[in-house]
Amino acid sequence: KQVDKKEGLVMVSNITKVKHLEFAIRLAAELNETLTIYGRVNDPQYFDTLKQLVEKLDVVHKIRFISNSSNVQQELYRYKYAIHTSLKETGPLVLIEYLAQNVPFLANGTGQVFNALNNELPEFFIDYFDISSWKQKLKGLKDVSDYRMENAYQNHFSTKKYINKCLTIYQHILNS
Confidence at residue 140, expressed as pLDDT on a 0 to 100 scale: 92
- As a whole number, the mean pLDDT across the chain is 92
**Confidence band, pLDDT 50/70/90 cuts, at residue 1:** low
- Sequential DSSP letters for 12-42: E--B-GGG-HHHHHHHHHHHT--EEEE--BS
Q: In this predicted model, which residue has the larger pLDDT, 58 or 169?
A: 58
Q: In this predicted model, which residue has the larger pLDDT, 164 or 46?
A: 46
Respond yes or no on whether the N-terminal peptide bond of residue 92 is cis (omega within 30° of 0): yes
Confidence at residue 51, expressed as pLDDT on a 0 to 100 scale: 98
- Of 8-22, 50-64, 117-131, 147-161, the poorest mean pLDDT is in 147-161
- Which burial class, exposed, middle or buried, applies to 91 when counting CB atoms under 10 A from its CB (0-12, 13-18, 19+)? middle
Query: Would you say the pTM of this structure is higher than 0.85?
Result: yes
Confidence at residue 2, expressed as pLDDT on a 0 to 100 scale: 60
State which H helix or E strand residue 108 sits in.
strand 105-108
Q: Could you read off the pLDDT of 79-94 as tens digits, one per residue?
A: 999 999 999 988 888 9
Closest CA to 79 of 52, 105, 60: 105
Q: Could you read off the pLDDT of 124-176 as tens digits, one per residue?
A: 999 999 999 999 999 999 889 999 999 999 998 888 877 877 777 778 788 87
**Within the chain, where are the H helices?**
21-31, 44-56, 93-100, 112-117, 131-140, 146-156, 159-175
**Confidence band, pLDDT 50/70/90 cuts, at residue 28:** very high
Q: How far is CA 175 from CA 164, 171, 172, in A?
A: 16, 6, 5
| 7-12/125-126 β-pairing | unpaired
Per-residue burial over 17-30, b = 16 or more CB atoms within 10 Å of its CB, e = otherwise: eebbbbbbbbbbbe
Confidence at residue 167, expressed as pLDDT on a 0 to 100 scale: 78
Confidence at residue 5, expressed as pLDDT on a 0 to 100 scale: 82
Residues 6+ apart with CB under 8 A from 140: 123
